[in-house]
Amino acid sequence: MSSPPVLHHALDLSAPHPTTLGPQPETLSVANQRRRLVLAMAAFTTVIEILSIAQLVPTVPLGSLNLPLSIIPALGLGVACGERLLGRSSRRTAAAVYWVAIAAALPLLAVRFAQTGRFDLWVSLLAASAGEELVYRLAIPAVLAAVLRAGNVRSDWSRMGGLGLAGLWFVLLPGHREQMDSIASALPFVAFALLSALLVYRSGSVLPMAAGHAVVNMLTVLVWNEVVAADARGMGLACILGLLVIAYGRPRRITVSNDGGLLDTRTGLDVAIIDLRDGRHPSVTLSDGRTLPVDGPLEVPDQVLHRT
């Protein structure tokens, strides 16, 4: 938005007023139904993941690996979430460069795996990375956050707690523990879990994180097989993860939500009031009553402004 309109009163997005153009009741109803569906699918995915770790359900053979059965409901969960998996980036140029890098890296890695006769492993690693991100950065954190909120924990703390506990669970997976023979060997897993949790918390970028995760795993396997030098792997990881952090590590705090209103990305709370009055620094009031100053341009949906 190039310039905010001159207002003589704050826009109240929650009160029933003719100039109130927040999410309409029917839109909110659909959004609430979608949230309940996503949470139910997340809970089901979490249960299947627990059963998979306990080896109480069969695995899914894909390529050269047997993947946990939880990958099936996790992919269904991803379809239910739709475009929200892309996350929110305030640096669109950096995000575009990141996806160009991913679009180049994955085919090049596929060729390298094919040259060694292991293209099936490339397919397995791609699917496994997507499955792990959907399970440990989406499904399990959503369930844990819902449990914490039921215990009257604040929304933002619930989200952070859910991602943190899921990250710890991810580090302690049996396949990861097998690769840890010292504190030093555990540090890469801890660092990756922390980075993933931070990026997903700040931007909701599950799909970008899954793409970066896939590149990390593929380069690591190629180093183990002495197909790629360790230095080349380090440079590749630095480029991919660096671009990922730049593109998705610092999103706009106030952004457009999926139901057409405004959302605070740090707390997950809806914006109830927008104050763009002339002569004042722009601010918003969240649904819990707290007021926040707006840093930088505020993207207000057209449906909120066109009657103002």
Tens-digit pLDDT profile for residues 229-260: 989 899 999 999 999 999 888 766 776 665 56
Work out the mean pLDDT of the chain and round it to a whole number: 82
Most confident segment among 4-13, 84-93, 209-218: 209-218
Identity of the residue numbered 151: G
pLDDT at 31: 62
Contact criterion met (CB below 8 Å) for 190 and 171? yes
d(CA 74, CA 29): 24
Confidence (pTM)? 0.77
Please give the sequence-ordered ranges of beta strands (E in DSSP) within the chain, or none if there are none: 11-12, 60-62, 65-67, 254-256, 262-264, 271-275, 283-286, 291-293
pLDDT at 4: 44
d(CA 76, CA 48): 13
- Please tell me whether residue 265 adopts helix, strand or coil conformation: coil
Mean pLDDT throughout 280-291? 80
Q: Which are the contacts of 284, defined by CB distance < 8 A and separation ≥ 6?
A: 254, 262, 264, 271, 273, 274, 275, 291, 292, 294, 298
Tens-digit pLDDT profile for residues 4-29: 444 445 555 554 443 343 444 555 56
Q: Return the axis-axis angle of helices 25-53 and 71-81, rounded to nearest 10°.
A: 170
Tens-digit pLDDT profile for residues 98-130: 999 999 999 999 999 999 999 999 999 999 999
Contact criterion met (CB below 8 Å) for 67 and 223? no
Domain ranges of the chain: 11-24+253-305, 86-248
H or E stretch at 160:
helix 155-171
pLDDT at 252: 67
- Whole-angstrom CA distances from 20 to 60, 199, 254, 260 are 50, 33, 18, 13
Contact criterion met (CB below 8 Å) for 213 and 132? yes
Contact criterion met (CB below 8 Å) for 79 and 69? no
